[in-house]
Amino acid sequence: MTALLCAAPLSGGSASAAAAAATAARPPEPVEVTVRHVRAPGDLITYTLTATNRGPSVARNVTATDRLPEGITFVDSSDGCTETDRTVTCGPEPQLNVGQSKSWTFHARLSAAYEGDGSDLGNSATGSSDATDPAPDNNTPPPVLPPGPFTPVSDLATVKTPLGAGPTVPGQEFEYEIRTTNKGPSDARNVTVTDTLPDGLSYVGSADPCQVTTGRTVSCGPRARLTPGDFVVWTFRVRLDPAYAGDGGDLRNTATSASASRDPEPADNTSRPVLPPGGVTAAQADVWMAKRPATTTPIAPGQTFDYVLTATNDGPSRAVDTTVTDTLPAPLTFVSSTDGCSADRGTVTCGPLPVLDQGSPKSWRITVRLDSGYTGNGSDIRNTATATSKTKDPRPENNTSSPAGLPGSKVNKPTADLAVTKEAVGSKPPRPGETFDYRIRVTNHGPSADAFNVKLTDDLPEGLSYVSSSP
């Protein structure tokens, strides 16, 4: 901007008046505007204010003032200009001879949030001095506008970080943190982040506004406005596939930030690829075992009952080829299993189960028999079952169940199912007064080994009388 100063003496004759009149009649000089690095809202504007003394006298203590419009703020000046309440003051220049000019330069910044077309950014500078100015109308040139366009430009940078020390075990969950920074110069509007997860990772959830939009793509945002120098952080949780068997190299992935503003350096919108925290280690499955009688009803010697053997995988990975073994105590013998278990010399084996997933227990049922000759109270019959798999177990101490006893934790008295058969001996019908024999057979069908104090009674009908027996 150029402010034209015409300096007149404080006293003088007609010659001075004529010179002043001649000066006043001169047309105003054009306004000079220098603008550098103005690309978008948030950029710097370089203003140059130029005061020219068109005479006829020397101008002393020359100053230039510039009232900045809303949306433009003073930054600094290498020529000593200062600012108060948006008014920039340059000078004073002690003396400006006729025909001389003085220029001052200062920097201002267009608001990073500016959304206009620039028509409201016009402003002008005013020059003044201690001398009387015969043509004060040309001290303030017409308003000038910064050159446009004023399209927002926001350089976004993205950093993606896996949270946690690791290493990550298949089946484990962990979090990714994505940080988007606006390096300016303008406000970034409607900022979003997208992250397409590789095969092997699945989205779990987020406390931030993140969700799966299509396929395996996680989207976070939008953030309505992100000012220059500010950043926004999104965090979401993922899970490594429990069946993952790789070394993690195929799990590297990136996140990309975008906004409605133009980005001058899109290369840093996408983060560098990252692995799960600490890389990936071999699968681990915490398999634990439980054993219980299928019923609480006590049994007697010789009777059968069922045990239920249950293997549970607490993860994080799936367990491969899970097998359960149960060595039965001496009074118990294996009878059968509806779940494919078998026995060899008192040891029952169930499985192997090809895959035991986390949170999906597998139960096997086996039928056993208490020895018919058992005479104890059941307290000596307590045993365990053990589960193993081909997957590393981080807690092998819980692979063996707690000891399980008999149903109801006691033994009923021996039970004997007695059967009686009675038949007449011989085929010739007896005549009155003759004797004949009856043969009576008592059979113990168990289940217990012995029936004690067996007693037989036979009520003879009228016409028959007891003679003798053998034994």
88 within a domain of the structure (yes/no):
yes
- So what's the pLDDT on residue 169? 97
Structure tokens at 69: 């419009």
- So what's the pLDDT on residue 234? 98
Predicted confidence pLDDT, tens digits, the chain (471 residues)? 444 443 333 323 333 333 333 333 333 332 233 444 456 899 889 999 998 888 888 999 999 999 999 999 999 999 999 999 999 999 999 999 999 999 999 999 999 999 888 888 888 888 888 877 677 776 667 787 777 778 899 999 999 999 999 999 999 999 999 999 999 999 999 999 999 999 999 999 999 999 999 899 999 999 999 999 999 999 999 999 999 999 999 999 999 999 999 999 999 999 999 999 999 999 999 999 999 999 999 999 999 999 999 999 999 999 999 999 999 999 999 999 999 999 999 999 999 999 999 999 999 999 999 999 999 999 999 999 999 999 999 999 999 999 999 999 999 887 777 888 988 888 888 888 888 888 888 887 777 666 667 788 888 898 888 888 887
> Hey, how many other C-beta atoms are within 10 angstroms of the C-beta on 137?
10
- What domain range is 14 assigned to? 2-139
147 within a domain of the structure (yes/no):
no
149 within a domain of the structure (yes/no):
no
127 and 8 in a single domain? The answer is yes
**Residue 407: strand, helix, or coil:** helix
197 within a domain of the structure (yes/no):
yes
381 and 314 in a single domain? The answer is yes
28 within a domain of the structure (yes/no):
yes
Rounded CA separation 189/113 (Å): 9
- So what's the pLDDT on residue 436? 84
Cβ-Cβ contacts under 8 Å for 337 (sequence gap 6 or more): 348, 350, 364, 365, 366, 367
- So what's the pLDDT on residue 272? 97
- So what's the pLDDT on residue 396? 97
205 and 246 in a single domain? The answer is yes
- Where b means 16+ CB within 10 Å and e means fewer, 359-383 reads eeebebbbebbbbbebeeebeebee
Rounded CA separation 185/113 (Å): 10
66 and 103 in a single domain? The answer is yes
297 and 402 in a single domain? The answer is yes
144 within a domain of the structure (yes/no):
no
405 and 429 in a single domain? The answer is no
- So what's the pLDDT on residue 136? 72
Tally of domains within the chain? 4
118 and 240 in a single domain? The answer is no
Q: Which of 149, 110, 154 is nearest to 264 (CA)?
A: 154
Rounded CA separation 296/408 (Å): 4
Q: Using CA atoms of 70, 76, 81, 83 in order, give the dihedral in degrees to the nearest 10.
A: 40
Rounded CA separation 169/185 (Å): 43
Domain boundary among 374, 392, 409: 409
- So what's the pLDDT on residue 6? 37
- So what's the pLDDT on residue 14? 33
23 and 129 in a single domain? The answer is yes
204 and 87 in a single domain? The answer is no
| Residue 7: CATH number of its domain | 2.60.40.290
**Residue 184: strand, helix, or coil:** strand
124 and 170 in a single domain? The answer is no
148 within a domain of the structure (yes/no):
no
Question: Is the Cα torsion angle 55, 56, 60, 66 positive or negative in sign?
Answer: negative
Name the one residue in this structure whose structure tokens are 């906004």.
Answer: 259
65 within a domain of the structure (yes/no):
yes
| Amino acid sitting at position 425 | V
| Amino acid sitting at position 327 | T
CA 316 to chain centre: 16
292 and 419 in a single domain? The answer is no
9 and 134 in a single domain? The answer is yes
Name the one residue in this structure whose structure tokens are 């001398």.
Answer: 131
